[in-house]
């Protein structure tokens, strides 16, 4: 029985690595898949992992009909046994409906990978629709870690190392970028609420005492 499965987790927890592994395992058994992605860090039409693995993919443009694209390819003789979708949070809700139609009408497994909430802790529309429609929602077991060592549960957007909570929902960036650039960092809920990134925590640790300490 074919399924629509949503693998979710924070940034830096291995979603793209698992997507690549699923594709590798199935191709090793002679199965052929179609990989969709959107706004990958490696550029258009790429599925990449922070471990350095990269493969070609189909860029899922904002108004692209994923179901119609797949039907057209299969009508031309291309084989498709499964579908992988990375960065699924960036898809429009109607594109998630198209993924469900691929499962129901074409009988193909669809494996979607994405983060659930944005840097403001608000649901991405694509992720919300996946939660509503998916046959299964799987939380990845590889836990990303906050700078404090606790389990990271929230994605933070940073500019100059400081956390920001305003701006467009989608701004492409990555973890570990130059401090002056727009970047992302995974934080535990406590430090996300306090807007305390690793950079601001280091700055606080290096700040002199507010009150001078004198011998008693």
Rounded to whole angstroms, how far apart are CA atoms 163 and 182?
10
Catalytic residues: 87
Rounded to whole angstroms, how far apart are CA atoms 45 and 35?
9
For the chain, list the strands marked E by DSSP.
Answer: 4-8, 33-37, 46-48, 54-56, 58-59, 82-85, 109-114, 136-139, 154-159, 162-164, 182-187
DSSP classification of residue 216: -
Residue 140 near residue 9 (C-beta atoms within 8 A): yes
Cα dihedral 36/41/47/50 (nearest 10): -140
**Can you give the three-state secondary structure of 175-194, one letter per residue?**
ECCCCCCEEEEEECHHHHHC
Neighbours of 3 (CB within 10 A): 12
């Amino acid at each position: 029985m074919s399924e629509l499965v949503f693998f979710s987790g924070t940034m830096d927890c291995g979603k793209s690595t698992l997507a690549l592994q699923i594709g590798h395992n199935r191709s090793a058994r002679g199965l052929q898949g179609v990989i969709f992605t959107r706004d990958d860090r490696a550029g258009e039409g790429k599925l990449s992992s922070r471990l350095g693995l990269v493969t070609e993919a189909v860029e899922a443009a904002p108004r692209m009909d994923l179901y119609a694209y797949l039907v057209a390819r299969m009508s031309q003789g291309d084989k498709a046994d499964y579908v992988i979708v990375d960065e699924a949070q960036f898809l429009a809700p109607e594109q998630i409906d198209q993924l469900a139609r691929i499962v129901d009408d074409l009988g193909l497994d669809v494996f979607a990978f994405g983060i659930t909430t944005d840097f403001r802790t608000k649901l991405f529309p694509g992720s919300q629709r996946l939660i509503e429609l998916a046959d299964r929602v799987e939380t990845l077991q590889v836990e990303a870690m906050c700078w404090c060592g606790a389990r990271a549960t929230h994605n933070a957007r940073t500019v100059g190392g400081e956390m920001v909570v305003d701006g467009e929902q989608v701004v492409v960036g990555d973890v570990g970028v130059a401090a002056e650039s727009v970047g992302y960092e995974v934080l535990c809920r406590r430090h996300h609420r306090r807007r305390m990134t690793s950079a601001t925590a280091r700055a606080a640790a290096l700040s002199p005492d507010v009150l001078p300490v004198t011998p008693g």
